Amino acid sequence: MSFFRHKADQIPVVIFLLFFLTDIVIYFTIDNPWFIATWFVAGIWPKGNICAWNHHHQHNVTFKSTLLNRSLELMYGFQTGVTTKGWLLHHVLGHHKNYLRQEIDESRWMNKDGTTKSEIGYTFEVAVTSLYRIIQVGRNHKRHLNDFLMMVFITMVLLGLLFWHNWYNTLFLFFLPMVVGLLLTCWATFDHHSNLDTKNEFEGSRNILDSFYNLMTGNLGYHTAHHVKQGLHWSKVPEFHGTIEHLIPAHCFVEAGFPYSWFNGLKNAAGSILFDKKGSLS
């Protein structure tokens, strides 16, 4: 019997686990500072994508077992900077309820005077205030808040032990990825809703239908569908999107940004080299 609640989660979790185990092996076996720093840089984009899957997990937990879910969340915490129930409180119970009300949205993009925050300002504000806003939401969800605080404590103890054993490797393999992961998560959410000042849930999110983007982020591009039916598992969101796509205005569909656009450019360039205009191999 599978430990997974949804079969579609199996391959992503295995990939992320192998990535994490690679970090652990490198931590204990590699002493070359240049290699460690290079591995950190190379891991920024992959771990940035893992942030999306951590988000999915906190909407719809991966395993049937609480112990397995906590273990996965501990791993995600070291990869993305957000551990157990963090985004459940800030994002699921906060932002999803309030994203059409900018005066109280936990990820608000609008200033008090009605102007739009700068992208950098928004990113750092949401990141720096995340703990405070998690606790604010958690006051009405004490069980979730207690789980969050417990796992933050465990994560910090383990991180402290890693620093004590090898501060340099810990800095580049775990601590900096946690900080960058949090910032990347906050930065990515700016384009989801910024400048969409509306009370209509079908007009309040931007959508990216690019297949590569959605492969890497677990269909996060179908963002309107995700907000309309946030409890739906990520693997089923595209199908639901098809039932509401006609309600979403054209300006809420955008192209994928960097680096996904860059990969698509490479794919198109390769296709033009390999195939002639008739679709035959050159």
Q: Report how many domains make up the chain.
A: 2
Residues of the chain below pLDDT 70? 1, 264-282
- Measured distance CA(202)–CA(245) in Å, rounded: 9
Cβ pair 80, 178 in contact under 8 A: yes
Pair 234, 217 in one domain: yes
The last residue of one of the domains, among 143, 178, 197, is 197
Pair 120, 237 in one domain: no
- Three-class SS of residue 63? strand
Pull the structure tokens for residue 27: 């931590």
Name residue 110's beta-bridge partners. 116
Collect all residues with Cβ–Cβ distance below 8 Å to 263 and sequence separation of at least 6. Answer: 212
Q: Does a structural domain hold residue 119?
A: yes
As to burial, measured by CB atoms within 10 angstroms (0-12 exposed, 13-18 middle, 19+ buried), residue 129 is middle
Pair 38, 169 in one domain: yes
Q: Does a structural domain hold residue 187?
A: yes
As to burial, measured by CB atoms within 10 angstroms (0-12 exposed, 13-18 middle, 19+ buried), residue 231 is exposed
Q: Does a structural domain hold residue 213?
A: yes
Pair 24, 158 in one domain: yes
Query: Can you list the positions of beta strands (E) in 232-279?
Result: none
Pair 219, 206 in one domain: yes
Pair 16, 134 in one domain: yes
Pair 259, 127 in one domain: no
What confidence score (pLDDT) does residue 280 get? 45
Pair 81, 49 in one domain: yes
- Measured distance CA(148)–CA(82) in Å, rounded: 10
- Measured distance CA(28)–CA(50) in Å, rounded: 23
Pair 191, 204 in one domain: no
What confidence score (pLDDT) does residue 271 get? 52
Q: Does a structural domain hold residue 1?
A: no
Domain that holds residue 216: 200-282
Q: Could you give the angle at the alpha carbon of 275 between the alpha carbons of 271 and 281, nearest 5°?
A: 135
C-alpha neighbours within 13 Å on the C-beta side of residue 206: 17
Q: Radius of gyration over alpha carbons of the chain, in Å?
A: 20
Pair 212, 112 in one domain: no
Q: Does a structural domain hold residue 84?
A: yes
What confidence score (pLDDT) does residue 266 get? 65
111-127: b (≥16 Cβ within 10 Å) or e: eeeeeebeeeebbebbb
The last residue of one of the domains, among 197, 221, 254, is 197
The last residue of one of the domains, among 143, 175, 197, is 197
As to burial, measured by CB atoms within 10 angstroms (0-12 exposed, 13-18 middle, 19+ buried), residue 37 is middle
- Measured distance CA(34)–CA(129) in Å, rounded: 33
Q: Does a structural domain hold residue 2?
A: no
Collect all residues with Cβ–Cβ distance below 8 Å to 193 and sequence separation of at least 6. Answer: 99, 107, 109, 204, 205, 206
Torsion sign over Cα 184, 189, 191, 194 = negative
Pair 20, 67 in one domain: yes
Give yes or no for a cis peptide into 33 (omega within 30° of 0): no
Pair 185, 211 in one domain: no
Q: What's the pLDDT tens digit per position in 243-275?
A: 999 999 999 999 988 778 777 666 665 555 555
Structure-token match 């004590």, residue found: 164
CB atoms within 10 A of CB 238: 14
Q: Does a structural domain hold residue 120?
A: yes
